[in-house]
Amino acid sequence: MTTILKVDGLKKRFGGNEAVSNVSFDVNEGECVVLAGDNGAGKSTVIKMISGVYQPTAGQVHFNDTVLTGKSPEAVRSLGIETIYQDLALADNLDPGLNLYLGREKTRRILGISFLDRKEMQRNAVEVMKSLGIVVPDPSAPVREMSGGQRQAIAIARAIHWQAKLVIMDEPTAALGVPEQREVMALIERLKKKGVGIILISHNLPDIFAAADRIIVLARGVVAGERKPSETNDEEIVRMMMGATL
Amino acid sequence: MKSLLNAWSWLFLVLILGFFEIYAQTQTGNTFLFRIYNIQSISVAASQILLLALGLTLVIVAGHIDLSIAFTTGFAAVAMALVIRFVGPEAGWFTVILAMGVGLLAAIIVGLVNGWLVAQLNVPSFIGTLGTYGIARGAALIVAGGATVSIRSDEARVLGNGHILGIPIPVVAAVVLAIICHYVLTHTRFGVHTYALGASRASVERAGVDVKRHLVYLFVISAITAGVGGLIYTSRFSAGAANAGEPILLYAVAAVFIGGASLTGGQGTIIGTVIGAFIIAVIQFGLVFCGLPPYWQFVAVGLVIIVAVLVDQSKGRLVGGST
Ligand SMILES: Nc1ncnc2c1ncn2[C@@H]1O[C@H](COP(=O)(O)OP(=O)(O)OP(=O)(O)O)[C@@H](O)[C@H]1O
Ligand SMILES: [Mg+2]
């Protein structure tokens, strides 16, 4: 297995508050790494330092052979790291195609004038969604009319369509009902099969054990431990989250 | 759903046209609808409203508002009139075109200030453009010396009152701008980003779009269409007035909302706004046609605005929409 992401000694200070003190871990191709930890443990801060939203106070992130540290969110994205935030950042009033292509829309020329190619974008969106096992009932309807799981799928489809090699998800199931949570877990399985590396943040123990190849527990800004799901259990993970050391 | 909303406005337009036609037939034995003069008058009134409402539609779709257009129109009208007056009565086509350029420039300055306030300083657009509403009003009155700047220019009069293929030039100008705005809003990336901005600023930001620049463009477009309204005013009446756009602001805002836009942003179309402008123009002209004192039009337009908002809300309830 090849390592695609190397997180090395990340530290982040906000004023006097050290949100992340020392976090290191790797992510391999086609692997799902779960970041677990109590509220305020520093999970979101870590992934924001990967996606370029925050710059670390110390430490570095390597993606394949590139140093990510110092790059803007757009630059990180264009290298193939897609971050799906909890609010999804979809434009609810637009169809799945336009959401898939937002910022990189397809156009075609008619008599020298450029027009959006809505049909083509819709077709491609339907196709990518199909590869995720999701049928889009009406490709021209705004995504507001879709279920929470389907909307999550659009965000994931965006990652697949633009050939992300690493997908970061911050609590993707937090706002969803039980059937939709299952949908999202199935989507994560399909992403893994495509060889995409995944960093998943979750509070939900069953989800963590279902999705993870490795579980990294953060407590108060440091890595409290790293386990394979087969070598641990709920109790131990919770104990590590609460701050008991290895 | 967007089309459903347009269907409502179409229906409403047809209903009021039908109402005035029946009224005309039964009360006067004449036709309301099938007289060139009536159609021209309604079209010119609608085009006046439209020139302010077109750019405003883009701003409102993006989830903002531009109140300053009322006096952007006046500022452009006065600026154009001053240039023509400065050159004198022998002002030829060159002067008129130069004057129009200066008028548009005056409008664009207001748009740039709006964009800077909203995009760079994060001032809410309602407050920011209310501020520039006052500033543009003051600036227009100051440069006009507190009065209407009358001009004598045959060229300008031709522009304001002439016809192309039987269609009044102000109407032609509004149609051309409407087509451009429609193209921009529905067929370009800029248009998609405008809708997306109205739904979720984060969606556009994370897509790598420069939202600040986008906002500046929107307010400049709004200023340009309102500015063209001012140029046409000066040409039609051979005078530039600081308050040229003031009475139209309410109608322009109303046209956009009647046309299916929502205060929260993310929806609205140019076609809807065009229908909205016609609905208001028909009411304005129709009430006078019926012999009612012209003040009734304010009441009628006010009622239509409220009805439009109620339709918008019930639609939100029906589909569990964005409210
Ligand atoms: N922009 C910021 N400015 C100041 N402090 C911050 C900022 N972002 C995060 N923090 C602080 O850093 C710490 C870690 O926050 P973070 O959001 O990373 O936690 P988390 O593990 O994602 O928690 P949760 O599970 O609640 O999402 C918290 O104490 C938080 O208050
Ligand atoms: Mg968090």
- Three-state DSSP string of chain A: CCEEEEEEEEEEEECCEEEEEEEEEEEECCCEEEEEECCCCCHHHHHHHHHCCCCCCEEEEEECCEECCCCCHHHHHHCCEEEECCCCCCCCCCCHHHHHHCCCCCEEEECCEEEECHHHHHHHHHHHHHHCCCCCCCCCCCHHHCCHHHHHHHHHHHHHHCCCCEEEEECCCCCCCHHHHHHHHHHHHHHHHCCCEEEEECCCHHHHHHHCCEEEEEECCEEEEEECHHHCCHHHHHHHHCCCCC
Residue at A159 is within a domain: yes
Number of domains, chain A = 2
Tokens 């190397």, located at residue: A6
Residues A32 and A2 in one domain: yes
Burial of B250 (0-12, 13-18, 19+ CB in 10 A): middle
Which atom of ligand 1 sits closest to the CA of residue A54? 1
State the Cα–Cα distance between residues A94 and A97, nearest whole angstrom: 8
* Structural domain span for residue A120: 92-163
Domain final position from A163, A196, A224: A163
Residue at A87 is within a domain: no
The answer for B268, left when phi > 0, alpha when psi is -120 to 50, beta otherwise, is left
- In this structure, is the dihedral angle defined by the CA atoms of residues B129, B134, B137 and B139, taken in order, positive or negative? negative
Indicate the Cα dihedral angle A147, A152, A153, A156, nearest 10°.
170
From ligand 2's centre to the CA of B46, what distance in Å? 52
Query: Is pLDDT above 50 for B321?
Result: no
Query: Could you report the per-residue pLDDT of A96-128, keeping only the tens digit for each?
Result: 999 999 988 999 999 999 999 999 999 999 998
A104 touches chain B (CB under 8 A): yes
Residues A131 and A228 in one domain: no
**Alpha carbon A30 to chain centroid distance?**
13
Residue A26: closest CA among A62, A59, A70: A62
Apex A47 CA angle, A44 and A51, nearest 5: 130
Q: Which two tokens stand for residue B137?
A: 């009003």
Residue at A36 is within a domain: yes
3-state secondary structure of B207: coil
Query: Could you report the per-residue pLDDT of B183-230, keeping only the tens digit for each?
Result: 999 999 999 999 999 999 988 988 888 999 999 999 999 999 999 999
Is ipTM beyond 0.85?
Answer: no
Residue B158: closest CA among B97, B101, B226: B97
Residues A40 and A110 in one domain: no
Apex B63 CA angle, B58 and B69, nearest 5: 55
From ligand 1's centre to the CA of B240, what distance in Å? 58
**Closest B-chain CA to A100:** B207
Residue at A96 is within a domain: yes
Q: Which of B188, B196, B198 sits opposite A116 (nearest CB)?
A: B188
Q: Length of chain A in residues, anyone?
A: 246
Query: Could you report the per-residue pLDDT of B5-44, keeping only the tens digit for each?
Result: 567 788 888 888 998 888 888 888 888 888 888 899 999 9
Q: Per the CB < 8 Å rule, is A93 touching B266?
A: yes
Q: Per the CB < 8 Å rule, is B203 touching A102?
A: yes
Is the Cβ–Cβ distance between A154 and A97 less than 8 Å?
no
Q: What percent of chain B has pLDDT over 90?
A: 59
Average pLDDT, chain B: 89
State the Cα–Cα distance between residues A194 and B24, nearest whole angstrom: 71
Residues A170 and A224 in one domain: yes
User: In this predicted structure, what is the pLDDT of residue A182?
Assistant: 81
Residues A156 and A178 in one domain: no
Domain final position from A138, A163, A188: A163
Residue B70: closest CA among B98, B51, B45, B57: B51
User: In this predicted structure, what is the pLDDT of residue B3?
Assistant: 52
Average pLDDT over residues B99-105: 96
User: In this predicted structure, what is the pLDDT of residue B310?
Assistant: 81
Crossing angle for the helix pair B125-143 and B69-87, nearest 10 degrees?
20
- Closest-CA distance, A100 to chain B, in angstroms, reads 10
State the Cα–Cα distance between residues B299 and B69, nearest whole angstrom: 23
- Closest-CA distance, B208 to chain A, in angstroms, reads 6
Residue at A136 is within a domain: yes
User: In this predicted structure, what is the pLDDT of residue A184?
Assistant: 80
Q: How many helical (H) and strand (E) elements, i.e. helices and strands, does chain B have?
A: 13, 4
Residue B252: closest CA among B72, B3, B79: B72
- Bridge partners (DSSP) listed for residue A108: A115
Q: Per the CB < 8 Å rule, is B203 touching A114?
A: no
- Bridge partners (DSSP) listed for residue A130: none
Query: Is pLDDT above 90 for B323?
Result: no
Query: Could you report the per-residue pLDDT of B241-275, keeping only the tens digit for each?
Result: 999 998 899 999 999 998 889 888 999 999 999 99
Between residues B179 and B155, which one has the greater pLDDT?
B179
In CATH, what number is assigned to the domain containing residue A76?
Answer: 3.40.50.300
* Phi/psi of residue B307, nearest 5 degrees: -60, -45
Average pLDDT over residues B93-100: 92
Q: Which of B1, B188, B200 sits opposite A89 (nearest CB)?
A: B200
Residues A36 and A105 in one domain: no
Chain B residues in contact with A85 by the CB 8 A cut-off are: 202, 206
Full pLDDT tens readout for chain A, 246 residues:
789 999 999 999 998 899 999 999 999 999 999 999 988 899 999 999 999 889 999 999 999 989 999 888 888 988 999 988 877 789 999 999 999 999 889 999 999 999 999 999 999 999 988 887 788 889 999 999 888 888 888 888 888 888 889 999 988 877 777 777 887 888 888 888 888 999 999 888 888 998 899 999 999 899 999 999 999 888 889 888 887 655
User: In this predicted structure, what is the pLDDT of residue B1?
Assistant: 43
Domain final position from A141, A163, A185: A163
User: Which site among A87, A92, A104, A114 would you substitute to test the B interface, given the most B Cβ atoms closer than 10 Å to its Cβ?
Assistant: A92
Q: Which of A103, A107, A116 sits opposite B209 (nearest CB)?
A: A103
- Closest-CA distance, B215 to chain A, in angstroms, reads 15
Residue at A85 is within a domain: no
Q: Per the CB < 8 Å rule, is A102 touching B196?
A: yes
Between residues B159 and B308, which one has the greater pLDDT?
B159
CA distances from B285 to A195, B16, B107, B238, B296 (A): 67, 11, 29, 23, 11
Ligand 1 pocket by Cβ (under 6 Å): A 14, 17, 19, 37, 39-45
In chain B the first and final C-alpha atoms are separated, in Å, by 15
* Phi/psi of residue A208, nearest 5 degrees: -60, -45
**Closest A-chain CA to B207:** A103
Q: Per the CB < 8 Å rule, is B199 touching A74?
A: no
Chain B residues in contact with A116 by the CB 8 A cut-off are: 186-189, 191-192
Is the Cβ–Cβ distance between B218 and B97 less than 8 Å?
no
Residue at A243 is within a domain: yes
**Helix (H) or strand (E) run with residue B91 in it:** none
From ligand 2's centre to the CA of A36, what distance in Å? 10
Neighbours of ion ligand 2 (CB under 5 A): A 44
**Alpha carbon B309 to chain centroid distance?**
19
Pocket of ligand 1, candidates A12, A17, A216, A218: which has the most ligand atoms within 8 Å of its Cβ, to mutate? A17
**Alpha carbon A233 to chain centroid distance?**
24
Residues A107 and A177 in one domain: no
State the Cα–Cα distance between residues A10 and A49, nearest whole angstrom: 8
- Closest-CA distance, B146 to chain A, in angstroms, reads 45
Tokens 């990510």, located at residue: A68
State the Cα–Cα distance between residues B257 and B315, nearest whole angstrom: 14
Between residues B59 and B246, which one has the greater pLDDT?
B59
